Copies of this chain bind each other. A is one copy, B any other.
Amino acid sequence: MKQTTYDQLLEAAMNVIRREGFDKASVSRFVKEAGVAQGTFYNYFASKNELVPAIAARILDEQLARMQARGDAETLETLVETMIDVTFTITEEFRDYISFCYSGISMYYSFERWDEIYRPYYDWLESQFSKLQRAGRITTELELKAAVNNTVGLIEHAAEAHYLSRAVTEDRTTAEAELKRMLVRALTI
C-alpha cells in the first residue's frame, strides 16, 4: 500500500529532526528528505509550525494506544507500573522529538493546544482512577482531576529527567521503582 504524501512528509520531518537536530530542521530539509517539491509541503501543512502539534499528537496517540493495549488494570500497582513502563519506553524511543515539541508548541501555540492533544490521555486515566476508586483501591482524599494531572506530570518529569538529562546516573529499574513507590504511597488508601 502506497504511503500518502502527508505521511511521507511527517516521517521525513521526524527523520530530519532526529538526525540533524532542531536547529537544522527547516522546510527545505523536510521536502528534500521526503523527495517532494518545496511547495508540496504547503498543500499539507498550513505552515512549518503546524508540524509541531502533528508530531506531538502522533507520539501521544502511540503512548495511549500502548497503555490501552494492556487492558484495564485491577490494582493501582498494575496501573502505575503500566503507565511508568510505557512512558519510559516512549520517552526513550522519541527522546529526540520531545524537546522539539515542547519548544515548538510553547513558542507558537497557546497551551490550550497542549491540552487538546493530551485530552484523550487525561480522560482515559481519569476513568481508570475512577474505577479503582470505586473498587476501594485509590484514596478518596484527593480530588480526581488534580490527581490525574499530577500523576501524569510526575511520571513524565521522571522519564524526561532519566532520558533527556545525562546527569541522572541511576539505572532505569531503580528510577522506575522509586517513582512507583512514591506514586503508590501518594495514591493508595
Alpha-carbon distance A94/B146, docked complex (angstroms) = 23
Alpha-carbon distance A71/B22, docked complex (angstroms) = 42
Contact B168 A149, beta carbon cutoff 8 Å:
yes
- Least CB distance from A180 to B in Å reads 11
Alpha-carbon distance A23/B47, docked complex (angstroms) = 15
Q: How many copies does the complex hold?
A: 4
Contact B150 A157, beta carbon cutoff 8 Å:
yes
A70 close to B (CB within 8 Å): no
Contact A107 B23, beta carbon cutoff 8 Å:
yes
A156 close to B (CB within 8 Å): yes
Contact B111 A164, beta carbon cutoff 8 Å:
yes
Main SS of chain A's interface residues?
Answer: helix
Alpha-carbon distance A29/B145, docked complex (angstroms) = 42
Contact B178 A142, beta carbon cutoff 8 Å:
yes
Contacts of A175 in B (CB 8 A): 146
Contacts of A185 in B (CB 8 A): 139, 141, 185-187
A-B contact pairs, 14 of them (CB 8 A): A23-B107, A103-B104, A112-B167, A114-B165, A142-B181, A143-B170, A143-B174, A146-B174, A147-B178, A149-B168, A150-B157, A154-B157, A156-B157, A183-B186
- The residues of A with any CB-CB pair to B shorter than 8 Å are 22-23, 99-100, 102-104, 106-108, 110-112, 114-115, 139, 141-143, 145-147, 149-150, 153-154, 156-158, 161, 164-168, 170, 174-175, 178-179, 181-183, 185-187
